[in-house]
Structure 1
Amino acid sequence: MFHWRSTLDRTGSGGVVELGFTDRSAGRGTGPYAGLNLGGHVGDDPAAVEANREALAAAVGVPRDHLVLMNQVHGSDVAEVSGPPTGASPPVDAVVTRTTGLALGVLVADCVPVLLHDREAGVVGAVHAGRPGMTSGIVGRAVDAMRDLGAETIVATVGPSVCGRCYEVPADMAAAAAAVSASSAARSWTGTPAIDVAAGVVEQLVSTSVAVQWIPGCTRETSSLYSYRRDGVTGRFAGVVSLPQEARR
């Protein structure tokens, strides 16, 4: 179920922060969605998607309704959540909380999933950073929202995404991204203009004094991860961060 997972002790609280990025294994999806597809907007059987979401919630130790997902819109809005959502998911690209017992999730299939945490303050966040989000500053807005909740020492875990060599774009699009984050400038496998969104995201995180842990993996080059750029019709994997109410070992 997990491409990568970690449990971190919270300083002085006796609790933990749990972080993870899922993969395609252990799910009920079939065809182009084979595996643990968590995306409900990609054409997969809704019952299979819901079963996969229930399995993920159980794996991270929260009730299904405590798994908070976003209606991601490639924007720069951030929502603070303090309990299980009621009604439709918020149309935002980052969520933050200091409430224990919630798991915050970001769904991707090439975009950059970013998990944020301050272990001492007990504040966490999940960010969806595609090219539009990176250029519009979603990362910095999420960091600001966490600091508004009392976070001081924030660490970002950046998950797998499409690499710069695999994200060929028109020259003007590459130039616009590089004007925002110079580190995003890249060249494709064939030498054409490209964007390394994750490198741009990491640059932005470092510029806000956030420590970074970067999990390796290019979605287009890794068959165990969903990739829209590689497959077109496909599922979504997740980055998940939580503050369990009780430490689990």
Structure 2
Amino acid sequence: MRRFLCLFIFILLCIAFFVPAAAADSDTLTITDSGKVLAEVKVGSVFLYRVGLFTGQHTLINGEGEIRYDKSLLQPLAYGDPTPEGYSFEGRLADASAVVNITDVPGNVYYNFSQVTGIEGYGSTDEPYLKLRFKVLAGGTTELNHLMQTLTARDNKNTFYKLFQNGKASDRYDKPPYTVGSVELPCAYIGDANNDGGISLIDATLIQWITAGRRLSYSKPNADTNGDGDINLKDALAVRRYAAGMNAANVGDYRFASE
């Protein structure tokens, strides 16, 4: 009887130890690249996957590549639209008039860009990024990989260099001509003017007070719901609509520090 009781207690302890851990794992997706952990993201959340482009201070001309992901765990969002909501340029490429083409075959996002203009040479401290938003569908662990196929740059003598060709890097530079992909997690919600992690009538009222000239502490990036650079009654109305359960463009969306 004593042996049976000890065995029963041991089983209960095992259940108490392992079940919470399993539950926690099911709520989180660990994202890795070649085995290296990039981030842990909650299921249902959205994150930015960014790939830096380094050309040794030469002007970037064109490039193409692919991002491989597990379609059962991740979903790319708004691909094909070169805006902050989709696959786009960041850094000094943000104002470049580039032609961007995106194709998503579930499990692979293929992209190419060309006709990059208005960008002089840059170094690793201000390198531009290509980025894509992903939504986490399920928990566990997954590999998210970027593969550069072609990357072309031009120096100040108007000489063109293939930094990547047919998926292989040239030996022109000691460091790889592109950085390993990185993950950026959201920092806030659009509409959360007081930055308390929720969106309510309190935020709408705060925005109204701000527009009336009251000097109060608030998050301007969160309060500027339409992204026009101004905080006004339109923003307050959008937050009120959202708090009332109605559709309000942008309000409630994840906000990233880099945007």
TM-score (norm 2): 0.21
Q: Which has the higher contact order (CA 8 A, sep 6+)?
A: 1
Q: Which has the higher strand share?
A: 2
Query: Which has the greater radius of gyration?
Result: 2
TM-score (norm 1): 0.22
Q: Which has the higher helix share?
A: 1
